[in-house]
Amino acid sequence: MKIIPWQENRINDVVELWNKEIGADFPLRVELCKQNSFEDSNICLKSSCIALNGQDEIIGFVIAKRWQENINVNMDDTRGWIQALLVAKPYRQQGIGSTLLEHAESQLKDIGVKQILLGKDTYHYFPGIPKQYEDVAEWFETKGYENFGTEYDLIRHYDLEDGMSVPKMAEVEFTTLSINDKEEFLTFLNRCFPGRWEYEAIHYFQKGGTGREFVVLKKGRRIIGFCRINDAKSPLIAQNVYWAPLVDEELGGVGPLGVDAKERGQGYGLAIVEAGIAFLRQRGIERIVIDWTGLVDFYKRLGYDIWKGYLSYKKEL
Ligand SMILES: CC(C)(COP(=O)(O)OP(=O)(O)OC[C@H]1O[C@@H](n2cnc3c(N)ncnc32)[C@H](O)[C@@H]1OP(=O)(O)O)[C@@H](O)C(=O)NCCC(=O)NCCS
């Protein structure tokens, strides 16, 4: 086996290996691989690498990240992530996965990482180990990783006129975000949801987002809640539509979303999800995914069922 650096000229091989191994559950598109595993500035090039066999064919890879961006959001640079680790089936049980993981971990440690998460990275694929890969979870446990919960992707199909109407409530309105309200919206996120959701919104605008992917809840003229909505026209491939090739209809996505802590408990949370769904439905979306959530009962009220589950894992170095 030979280890070579993580490099984009191998992208087609990476995607081919991924799809051969786990493509039936998580079909990877080249554009998505490029976006999440090559263009993200948090990729740690020293920790990520590719394994080749004697014929120069790719037989495995590991992709690791650490927060490196120069944006003032609340992200922790002592946390590292393993975005993905994969070894081709015929080459398993030969120590290749262990070698790749040890390589990634030791390089992350060298640059000051104190805790590693599996998935949950910036431009992640997974918020944990997919639940159906129990053997993978067991393998990581032998490497010192600890489970700390389960996250879910939920899904629902809509018929005909279902889910089309935006809720009406006294004193508040639901609209898609006007680009003129961008600064006010970012200020709202910074105040109420600092960190990852704010970071993702900043990236969305940097990539040319115009506001159509955010529904905002306004009381008077103040933004008090938000809900992200995504479809194939979004300026980047958003997390809730990553696995769109698995379904026949065009897939839409809802989330993240939140309501100002001072305004919770008045029905706004559920209503903003309904508003997000209605805007997607009016754009012709028939199937919607709500990704990376633990709030299964909350979304069940709107008819959502579990689609995929993920086990959260971390390791303190
Ligand atoms: C989740 C959140 C949006 C709910 O907002 P909210 O305005 O308080 O919710 P609502 O008032 O619309 O709640 C409607 C119903 O859902 C229930 N509910 C609210 N939060 C819930 C939760 N976390 N889990 C389960 N049920 C919940 C409420 O009890 C209420 O039930 P009732 O009709 O029987 O009284 C809000 O708590 C929030 O912003 N949290 C932080 C961000 C977050 O976690 N977002 C979701 C990420 S997937």
What's the chain's average pLDDT?
97
Domain containing 50 — which CATH number?
3.40.630.30
Residues 46 and 106 in one domain: yes
Same structural domain for residues 22 and 63? yes
Taking 90 as the threshold, does the pLDDT of residue 9 lie above it?
yes
Q: How far apart are CA 315 and CA 117, in angstroms?
A: 7
pLDDT digits (tens, 9 = 90+) for 140-154: 999 999 999 999 999
Identity of residue 217: L
Residue 305: phi and psi, rounded to 5, are: -115, 160
The answer to whether residue 150 sits within a structural domain is no
Domain-located, residue 16: yes
Residue position matching structure tokens 């109420």: 192
Read off the pLDDT band of 18 (50, 70, 90).
very high
CA distances from 288 to 42, 170, 276, 308 (A): 29, 27, 10, 13
Q: Tokens 């040890």 — which residue?
A: 102
Quick check: 98 pLDDT over 90? Answer: yes
For residue 93, the tally of other CB atoms under 10 A from its CB is 9
C-alpha 299 – ligand 1 centre gap (Å): 9
Whether 176 and 301 share a structural domain: yes
> Do 115 and 164 belong to one domain?
no
Q: Distance from the CA of 264 to the center of ligand 1, in angstroms?
A: 7
**What's the 270 CA to ligand 1 centre distance in angstroms?**
7
The residue among 104, 125, 146 that closes a domain is 125
The DSSP code for 43 is B
pLDDT digit string (tens) for 221-261?
A: 899 999 999 999 999 999 999 999 999 999 999 999 999 99
Identify the domain containing residue 176 by its residue range: 155-307
Choosing from 120, 196, 257, 298 the residue with most ligand 1 atoms within 8 A of its CB, the one to mutate for a pocket test is 298
* Pocket probe mutation, ligand 1, options 172, 174, 295, 297, max atoms within 8 Å of Cβ: 295
As a whole number of angstroms, the distance between CA 275 and CA 165 comes to 7
Give yes or no: residues 290 and 165 share one domain.
yes
Residue 141 lies in a domain: no
Kind and range of the H or E element at 33?
helix 30-37
Nearest CA to ligand 1 atom 23: 295
Q: Is 258 in the pocket of ligand 1 (CB under 6 A)?
A: yes
Check pocket membership of 172 for ligand 1, CB cut-off 6 A: no
DSSP conformation letters of 270-300 = HHHHHHHHHHHHHTT--EEEEEEES-HHHHH
User: Distance between CA atoms of 117 and 248, rounded to whole angstroms?
Assistant: 33
Dihedral of alpha carbons 243, 248, 252, 253, sign: negative
Q: Is 242 helix (H, G, I), strand (E, B) or coil?
A: coil
Among 108, 125, 142, the domain-final residue is: 125
The residue written with tokens 């299964």 in the block is 296
For the chain, give the number of residues: 317
Same domain, 84 and 213: no
Please indicate, yes or no, if residue 48 is contained in any of the structural domains.
yes
Q: 3-state class of 212 per DSSP?
A: coil
Question: Taking the CA atoms of the chain, what radius of gyration do you get in angstroms?
Answer: 20
Whether 167 and 286 map to the same domain: the answer is yes
Strands, E assignment, 220-304: 222-230, 251-259, 287-293
When divided into structural domains, the chain yields a total of 2
CB 36 within 8 A of CB 124: yes
Report how far residue 141's alpha carbon sits from residue 288's, in angstroms, rounded to the nearest whole number: 33
Co-location of 120 and 179 in the same domain: no
Cα 225 to ligand 1 centroid, rounded to whole Å: 12
In a shared domain, residues 120 and 159: no
257 Cβ inside 6 Å of ligand 1: yes
User: What is the tens place of the pLDDT at every residue in 44-97?
Assistant: 999 999 999 999 999 999 999 999 999 989 889 999 999 999 999 999 999 999
Residue 32 domain-assigned?
yes
User: Do 168 and 283 have their domain in common?
Assistant: yes
Letter string b/e over residues 228-245, b meaning 16 or more CB atoms within 10 A of that residue's CB: bbbbeebbbbbbbbbbbe
Interval 263-299: pLDDT, tens? 999 999 999 999 999 999 999 999 999 999 999 999 9
**H or E element, residue 104:** helix 96-110
Ligand 1: centre distance to CA 241 (Å)? 23
**CA separation for the pair 39, 97 (Å, rounded):** 24
Model confidence, pTM: 0.95
Do 199 and 264 lie in one domain? The reply is: yes
Angstrom distance (rounded) from CA 73 to CA 134? 35
Q: Is residue 51 assigned to a domain?
A: yes
Q: Indicate whether 97 and 174 sit together in one domain.
A: no
- Residue 315 is assigned to a structural domain of this protein: no
Nearest-atom index, ligand 1, CA of 294: 48
Measure the CA–CA gap between 130 and 118, rounded to whole angstroms: 11
Residue 15, domain member (yes or no): yes
Cβ neighbours of 260 (radius 10 Å): 18
